[in-house]
A and B are shown apart, each in its own frame.
Chain A
């Protein structure tokens, strides 16, 4: 394994919540130095959200914050409303390759830290800016979170039984989609600068990025004037298809049979009961037509086995199948364990937690690093006095003045 691709890259993170940090984390995973700029006056919203360790609120006890920052970051508190705070921010910018921010539109400009300002400090700076709706347009100053964007983009309307209102997906789902685009663009910008010496300002409107995930729905409306049709657990080209109840409480195994070959294998695995030879199930079209009866019959078999057993039997024979994993299953999943997907890290307030994750890929020439989340202002003294060279006297005085709030 070689070194870290982004070693030597310095990142200044003025980001809150999820999308900004998740985008920047790809740099941190692979060696970049990140200084996270927070403030005690207005803590990151993820620090003030439940669930908390032991259900006791505290700025260092939020699981959401911890989950979002599984990488080494220097954490400083800085009061950008104080003129000296802006001076210090500018000194930090001067040594940074990348500056990330996720304030609402206009805020950074108000601080004198807009892109044009940053370019004066460092001509080839890469600025990464993200907000919900984009930095121009009628909604540019509207606050948004992943929770609201997930509804706005239609993701909370996609999982639906035809006879019922939709069921939302996991909470801030778009917080896990937008940073995929953000991280990609940011790394491309670093590569571009390496080749050309030019920086740039990247503007990630989370709404605009996420709609790139639903292009087929957009086109279907454009040319066919059709909205997404809710299909429950059915598939129009596979039967049996769906989650099938297994032994135990709320245990299911998903099975998907698309081809004749898979159907033959499937019938073998379940012991070729007489019903499988019924004309009703002899072709895909017939199985789709009689899917309700088919599903009932399949479940009469699956109910006798553990979900894992069903998956293993089906997969061994060549039929797509997967346990409907609950959280415990995830943490015990053999494939995720093989890739060491979850890391257990110790933290002064959170204790030992194993939900820290790296990227969804592995590189053959670079390893990623995880590290416990930083505490608020944990590295104030180090960054201000050692890195920026502020004298101890000034540091004490400015602290009293509220510069480091």
Chain B
């Protein structure tokens, strides 16, 4: 879809996914790494646990489809090269500290002169401006300031981080959306523009109305309560995650017309197994509203379901739930995700060759399917400077001698 565009990708882990998803839609994304390779290549996990810049699975995950050149943009020669590349690029993506690109003489005011149509997408922790613009961050700092951390964990322990770091992905995605809007608007206004993507603003949205509405409506602060979730302003709580025989299942009690059939079927199922359906068996799902679910009723429902789920495996519950149209879902492990029949039926997984490792790895498929275009990974993430010759020699016309000088001076 977007194969007519080219992006220069100067991001670190704060913005990798921006270039990745644009590349998935066809953009020619050139990753620009400092000579010796991007420091983010040290982020694990690693292929066979070998910590090596060409074996980072994190790097593979979010830099697929990109080409790579090495370039030191703090050197004047490097800056001239970047400006030359910007002439024929549509997008520049960066995730340096606010002000860094300006300091290198590569800020928007300069790139805009070089190429008035350029879209410069800056992805940062907190935004290019404002009281926190100089603040340093990491996954946990973002997770904390976004409101996510406060609501996760058990009441008798500190608030809890995600063991899989992913806070930055939100900012990178918002950067990508801003980028395509800017590309769209280019034709209308005859010039590019700046996209200021903030990881913080992007992640704040993910706490959602569940957390933000109780404050706005009732001045209630939602706290971490393990697997319990606050349902109403009157303190009614139900779990969202439940233990079963071999792991966890998710089930969230929902009321209203759309769930009459499922809730009725669930009660029948519980009864059919000889479990006492108690108060659940007495509820008229056609009529009941949240104002009728008192704390006591909720407690009873929770106890009934806890008992019921504990008798079954994830697979048993899921298979039966699918037949009955009830939304009880397993918490899939990576193995189970891999083996998920729906993915196989839709030819979701993509095998990508990594010849240097003599390996073929399985990647998630495209994030959309389209009647008009393909979407998703086509080739593995690049090696350090893999496309130096292609870009510098063939495209920019540097001679072999010039390249040698630049290489030895560690400019590329």
Contact = CB atoms under 8 A, between A and B. Distances in A.
A192 B372 contact: yes
A309 interface: no
Contacts of A245: 158
Residue among A51, A202, A258 facing the most chain B CB atoms (10 A cut-off):
A51
Contact of A224 (B48, B210, B342): B48
Contact of A147 (B140, B148, B248, B250): B250
Given A148-B252, A215-B61, A363-B195, A154 B331 contact: yes
Interface string B178-210: 101111110111010111111111111111111
Interface residues of A, number: 156
A84 interface: no
B254 A63 contact: no
A205 B366 CA distance: 10
Given A148-B329, A328-B221, A164 B154 contact: yes
Contacts of A252: 144, 149-150, 158-159
Contact of A243 (B159, B173, B373): B159
Given A50-B290, A134-B346, A213-B169, A159 B160 contact: yes
24 contacts: A5-B184, A45-B254, A48-B255, A52-B232, A139-B342, A152-B329, A158-B164, A167-B153, A172-B210, A175-B208, A189-B1, A203-B370, A218-B61, A221-B335, A227-B335, A241-B140, A243-B149, A321-B141, A328-B221, A353-B216, A353-B217, A357-B204, A359-B174, A362-B127
Contacts of A57: 289-291
Residue among B138, B142, B199 facing the most chain A CB atoms (10 A cut-off):
B138
B197 A212 contact: no
B107 interface: no
Contact of B256 (A45, A171, A254, A325): A45
B332 interface: yes
Residue among A219, A226, A330 facing the most chain B CB atoms (10 A cut-off):
A219
Interface stretch (B223-231, B305-313, B389-397): B223-231
Interface stretch (A73-81, A229-237, A285-293, A374-382): A229-237
Contact of A145 (B61, B139, B252, B367): B252
A102 interface: no
Residue among A6, A64, A170, A258 facing the most chain B CB atoms (10 A cut-off):
A170
In order of increasing CB-CB distance, the 3 nearest A-B pairs are A151-B250, A360-B202, A63-B213
Given A159-B153, A181-B367, A361-B197, A171 B208 contact: yes
Contacts of A279: none
Contacts of A181: 21, 173, 367-368
Interface string A346-386: 00000001110101111111100000000000000000000
B1 A171 contact: no
